[in-house]
Structure 1
Amino acid sequence: MEGADAAVIDWLLAGDPAIRWQTRRDLLDEPPALWAADRAQVALTGWGARLLARQDPAGTWGGGLYSPKWISTTYTLLTLRHLGLPPDNAQAQEGCMLLLEKGFYRDGGINFFKSYKFSETCVTGMVLALLSYFQCRDERVPQIVTHLLGQQMEDGGWNCERPRGATHGSFHTTLSVLEALHEYVQLAPDGASAVQTAVDRAHEFLWLHRLYRSHRTGQVADPAFIRIYFPPRWHYDFLRALDYFQAVNAPADERMTEAVQLLLSKQTPDGRWKQGTNWAGQVFFYMEKVGQPGRWNTLRGLRVLRWWRRSEIRTRAWVKNVSPSGGMSE
């Protein structure tokens, strides 16, 4: 329970199976044998079961692949991924195959839009994350990875507006692609070396911007970036970025310090975080009430702080053991 009050942990464990199993894994360091049953329950009860029940006979959600937001197949599967639905779930895998069959485009990416003559990079990233998480071992999946690697910009980011002339990376697109590449490496560990350089460059892109600032003015790039949303949908925010960095166990780069301090400033005196506002759009149901203590944000906030403190300790230990000449001290 490092960094968390026992009462907060108990409160998290009293929540939906999706919250319970991730609390056991990420905050209590329990082995899979102790949280596997809770994870299996995601498909059977609570939020996960309610979403799975909304799949239509055609295998889609909301009657569409990408729209309507936020009840389409893409966005429902993204939520199920956040919940930690077991990757071998047949309903989710069916939905993923529909996204691949209907969306795979001649340039190697994903394009659901008839008016586009090119794949949409942000959507391609989100779909790759889903295909990888839900274990789609199709020959087109590595092709999507190759396509995304070819879309990386000079500054290390990605931007769905690149085909229209954009020359600077987008926070939104960059994080979506990073999350996707992380999921892909879990599916295909042999592909890690092929994507590592691109991942490192993208990390540097976000760190250069201190996760939410303009590299030109130093000001907050978008007010939404310093708010907390869940589910994030396709949108970027600083907690979504921090949660990604904890998921990949990134080093505690000092350029993330300000974002961690911002996270701490939003923590309530009782050790929790409130549920933020929701992105406008259709939903099947709301998981939590805006302005009330939120289990999702509390879980994410606590696991980020846990990772940060541990990563700081590792970083300090490494620096301490490096001599001024660059070699390791004895």
Structure 2
Amino acid sequence: MIHSGSVIDWLLHSDPSIRWQVMRDLIDVPEPEWAAERTKVESEGWGARLLSYQDEDGQWAGGSFVPADFDPREWKEHGQPWTATTFSLSQLREFGLNPSSDRAKRTVELIGANARWDEGGQPYWEGEVEECINGRTVADGAYFGVDVSSIVDRLVGERLDDGGWNCERLNGSVRSSFASTINVLEGLLEYERATGGTRQSQEARRSGEEYLLERNLFRRLGTGEPADERFLRFLHPNRWRYDVLRALDYFRFSAMLTGGDRDPRLGEAIGHVRSRRLENGTWPLDWSLAGRVWFEVDDGQGEPSRWVTLRAMRVLRWWES
């Protein structure tokens, strides 16, 4: 229940990680003001709390992808744990931790020196073997100022014939997946924002976009049926999972960065977002992933979600502008 005031007021009466993005994306506050609010992510609220759980060696929970105390039975019985380094870094990026801050710079240096991937012992900023993981590593690395060009080159070479990516490629998959593709796209776009990208990375990103657009962001190309009903249900945090709101937020960022037009094939997904707005002007959290977390950042499934509402409002504002 929204007790009083507008939805904007409700969003502003929240954590600094949400406030600064509302100020920038929804109410056009001058940059010095939202940038000042953004600096609070490091010292207040969720950002400060997540940083407080960081290990002395720069990692979280003693591991890169899973915690040091991980037992495979936990995944089977309780769900994938989300407390290790890769998911903590991605959440700090979502919160908007200033990458130029001393704390952020020290964090990426420590991770580069100490973190190794569980899969093969590779240095963290050299990437892993799965496209989903490497896409997020590129996004985090590019955001925090790390040279991730070698991972980008690898991802470009791993694109499938239909234009996207699938982390099951090594197991023989020849068809792209929505989830793998959005993870790689977000990484390539962040890399392009940070460095300008390369001709090859830009071409790969455009082909991945086309993969999603041809499917109206959620439909099977052959039958036109929804590829997964969960794609139409709003999830937060997404982690590696896909939904149409995540995709729309990506296309918004892509268009704003490159000056591209709003593709009409996004229209059906936009209509779905509009249809899910509650009477009080907010959007609900439809579901969340099981598994160990440091702390919750939403009020629970079925409740209005500030994160989902922020993303939905800025997507619609971009689309309708």
TM-score by length of 2: 0.86
Amino acid at match of 1:77: L
Paired position in structure 2 for 1:167? 174
Specify the structure having the higher radius of gyration (Cα).
1
CA distance in 1, matches of 2:156, 2:113: 21
Q: CA deviation at 1:276?
A: 2.9
Partner of 1:119: 129
Letter of the 2:19 partner, please give it.
R
Query: For residues 157 and 192 of structure 2, what CA distance do their matches in structure 1 show?
Result: 17
> For residue 15 of structure 1, what is the aligned residue in structure 2?
14
Aligned match of 1:258: 268
Further displaced range: 240-249 or 82-91: 82-91
Match of 1:233 among 232, 239, 243: 239
Q: After TM superposition, give the deviation of residue 91 of structure 1 in Å.
A: 4.1
Shift of 1:271: 1.2
Distance 2:121 2:30 in 1: 48
Query: CA deviation digits over 1:38-90, x for unaligned, max 9?
Result: 10000110000000000011211112111142101100111111111111244
1:275 aligns with 2:285: yes
Match of 2:152 in 1: 145
CA distance 1:97–1:173, shift in 2 (3 Å) = farther
Distance change in 2, residues 1:142/1:80 (3 Å): same
- 8 Å contact 1:74–1:127 — kept in the other structure? yes
Paired position in structure 2 for 1:36:
35
In structure 2, what is the equivalent of residue 76 of structure 1?
88
Equivalent AA in structure 1 for residue 25 of structure 2: D
SS at match of 1:270: coil
2:98 matched to which residue of 1?
Answer: 86
Q: CA deviation at 1:247?
A: 1.1
SS at match of 1:287: coil
Pairwise mapping of residues 306-325 of structure 1 onto structure 2 (< 5 A)?
A: 306-310=317-321
Which ranges of structure 2 fall in alignment gaps of 5 or more residues? 68-80, 123-127
Aligned to 2:184: 177
Report the secondary structure of 2:14's partner residue: coil
Q: CA separation of 1:164/1:94 partners in 2, compared to 1, >3 Å: closer, same or farther?
A: farther
Cα drift, residue 97 of structure 1: 4.4
Q: Is 1:61 aligned to 2:50, yes or no?
A: no
Which whole-Å deviations, capped at 9, do the CAs of 1:71-128 have from their partners, x for residues lacking one? Answer: 0110011111111111124444444445556778xxxxxx641499x81111111111
Aligned length: 295
Alignment-derived partner of residue 288 in structure 1: 298
Distance 1:76 1:163 in 2: 26
Deviates more, 1:72-81 or 1:273-282: 273-282
From the superposition, tell whether residues 222 and 102 of structure 1 become closer, same or farther in structure 2 (CA, over 3 Å).
farther
Extract unaligned runs of 5+ from structure 1.
Answer: 1-5, 105-110, 311-330
Distance in 2 between residues matched to 1:170 and 1:99, nearest whole Å: 29
SS at match of 1:251: coil
Letter of the 2:135 partner, please give it.
Answer: G
- The letter of the residue matching 2:308 is N
How big is the shift at 1:30? Answer: 2.3
Kept after mapping to 2: 8 A contact 1:96/1:130: no
Q: Please, which moves more after superposition, 215-224 or 76-85?
A: 215-224
Q: C-alpha distance in 1, partners of 2:186/2:112?
A: 18
SS at match of 2:6: helix
Give CA-to-partner distance per residue, 1:199-218, whole Å, 9 cap, x none: 11111100111101111221
Residues of 1 paired with 2:121 and 2:98: CA distance?
35
Q: Residues 58 and 114 of structure 2 are in contact (CA less than 8 Å); yes or no, is this contact kept in structure 1? A: no
Deviation digits for residues 130-156 of structure 1 (CA, Å, limit 9, x no counterpart): 1100111x3xx2111111110111111
Partner of 2:308: 297
